[in-house]
């Protein structure tokens, strides 16, 4: 296999599943994982980076498989003490997780950039792949609702995705620049750009909203392929399907194709959605039909393999 890099764009849970598969498939120096920072927020004096941390914990083998966030075998002494003292307790921080947040907050306060701190944390956790937050400048995803805009974690965690969604804004994104490690990866030899099956609205769009990034990814002139997070008309986890209904679009892999139309060269959809393939192809992208539900590690590796091979097949066949 060539030594060219694979750039994967990822949110949290869904993204980290495919990224874990990719990490088993590719030599570490070939994998660059760009994480969404639109979920990041300040809480109890700490900078919390949910999607980046999900990827870090997943690749380090420390993620809690049931909850989908935080560390496995976590204890909650800190949270209980916060509660007992009447502190804000709507966002859970486990004791081990807290160590990461405090170490990061410390480094940030000393003037290190988010991407430097993240690279060092990845290193300390024994992760070989590059984990790159999309930008060192803060970007805050806002969820617009009929009653006004909500900060993402207020919508997602505090309000449990109950409010009706009318759209999204990414506060601060106009001043954001792609993280330096992402810029240098873009100038390296790249084999493919992979959009993980993450939530398109609140995990992938914030990354693609970083000024210039969409164009720079296209200018790599390598295949850009996405994996649909929608299987059989529903999301596996999280609010993607609910968001689609509220935004007035059909909950289907076809809508995912429309969402990425003009940007991706190919989309991987699940076997149960195979009948959508002709319509998706009509949108001007290649379609691959395969098993996209990742139950165990072997599913993750197989889907990663399918994705990388799909991209490889598209290479050269792209008209730009």
* By the rule CB under 6 A, 237 interacts with ligand GDP: yes
Instruction: To the nearest 10°, report the CA torsion of 45, 179, 11, 254.
Output: 140
* By the rule CB under 6 A, 238 interacts with ligand GDP: yes
* By the rule CB under 6 A, 235 interacts with ligand GDP: yes
Residue 5 binds which entry of ligand GDP, Ca ion, none, CB below 5-8 Å type-dependent: none
* By the rule CB under 6 A, 203 interacts with ligand GDP: yes
* By the rule CB under 6 A, 37 interacts with ligand GDP: no
Question: Of these, 294, 306, 308, 311, which contacts ligand GDP (CB under 6 A)?
Answer: 294
Residue 136 binds which entry of ligand GDP, Ca ion, none, CB below 5-8 Å type-dependent: none
**Whole-number minimum distance, CB 320 to ligand GDP, in Å?**
27
Residue 288 binds which entry of Ca ion, ligand GDP, none, CB below 5-8 Å type-dependent: none
Cα dihedral 72, 128, 51, 264 sign: negative
- Among 11-19, 100-108, 171-179, 271-279, the segment contacting ligand GDP (CB under 6 A): 11-19
* By the rule CB under 6 A, 227 interacts with ligand GDP: yes
The residue number with the shortest CB distance to ligand GDP is: 14
Question: Of these, 35, 118, 141, 198, which contacts ligand GDP (CB under 6 A)?
Answer: 198
Enter the tokens of residue 298. 């072997």
Phi and psi (nearest 5°) for 183? -60, -40
* By the rule CB under 6 A, 51 interacts with ligand GDP: yes
- Among 4-12, 75-83, 120-128, 141-149, the segment contacting ligand GDP (CB under 6 A): 4-12
User: How many angstroms separate the CA atoms of 97 and 104, rounded?
Assistant: 11
Residue carrying the six token digits 């990663």: 304
Residue 256 binds which entry of ligand GDP, Ca ion, none, CB below 5-8 Å type-dependent: none
Q: Strands across the sheet with 266-270, in order?
A: 130-133, 31-35, 5-10, 190-195, 224-227, 266-270, 286-290
Question: Of these, 15, 38, 94, 266, which contacts ligand GDP (CB under 6 A)?
Answer: 15
* By the rule CB under 6 A, 141 interacts with ligand GDP: no
Q: Which is nearer to ligand GDP, 69 or 107 (CB)?
A: 69
- Among 113-121, 206-214, 245-253, 291-299, the segment contacting ligand GDP (CB under 6 A): 291-299
Phi and psi (nearest 5°) for 165? -95, 130
Interaction pattern, residues 5-44, with Ca ion; x per rule: CB under 5 A: ------xx--------------------------x-----
**Whole-number minimum distance, CB 219 to ligand GDP, in Å?**
25
Binding stretches for ligand GDP (CB under 6 A): 10-15, 17, 51, 54, 197-199, 203, 227-229, 231, 235-238, 240, 292-294
Binding stretches for Ca ion (CB under 5 A): 11-12, 39, 51
């Amino acid at each position: 296999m060539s030594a060219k890099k694979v750039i994967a764009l990822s949110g949290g849970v869904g993204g980290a599943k495919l990224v874990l598969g990719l990490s088993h498939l590719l030599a570490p120096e070939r994998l660059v994982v760009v994480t969404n920072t639109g979920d990041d927020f300040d809480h109890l004096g700490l900078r919390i980076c949910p999607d980046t941390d999900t990827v870090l914990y997943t690749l380090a083998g420390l993620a809690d498989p049931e909850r989908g966030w935080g560390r496995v075998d976590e204890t909650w002494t800190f949270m209980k003490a916060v509660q007992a003292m009447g502190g804000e307790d709507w966002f859970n921080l486990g004791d081990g997780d807290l160590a990461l947040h405090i170490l990061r907050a410390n480094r940030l306060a000393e003037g290190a950039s988010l991407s430097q701190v993240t690279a060092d944390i990845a290193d300390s956790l024994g992760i070989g792949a590059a984990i790159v937050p999309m930008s060192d400048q803060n970007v805050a995803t806002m969820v617009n609702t009929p009653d006004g805009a909500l900060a993402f974690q207020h919508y997602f965690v505090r309000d449990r995705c109950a409010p009706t969604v009318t759209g999204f804004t990414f506060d601060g994104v106009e001043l954001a620049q792609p993280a330096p490690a992402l810029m240098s990866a873009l100038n390296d030899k790249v084999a493919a750009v992979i959009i993980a099956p993450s939530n398109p609205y609140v995990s992938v769009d914030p990354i693609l909203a970083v000024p210039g990034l969409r164009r720079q990814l296209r200018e790599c002139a390598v295949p850009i392929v996405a994996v649909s997070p929608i299987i059989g008309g529903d999301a596996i986890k999280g609010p993607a399907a609910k968001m689609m209904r509220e935004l007035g679009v059909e909950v289907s892999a076809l809508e995912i194709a429309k969402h990425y139309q003009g940007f991706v060269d190919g989309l991987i959809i699940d076997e149960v959605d195979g009948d959508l393939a002709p319509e998706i192809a009509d949108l001007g992208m290649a379609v691959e039909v395969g098993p996209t539900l990742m139950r165990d590690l072997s599913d993750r590796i197989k889907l990663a393999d399918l994705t990388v091979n799909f991209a490889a097949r598209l290479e050269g066949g792209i008209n730009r």
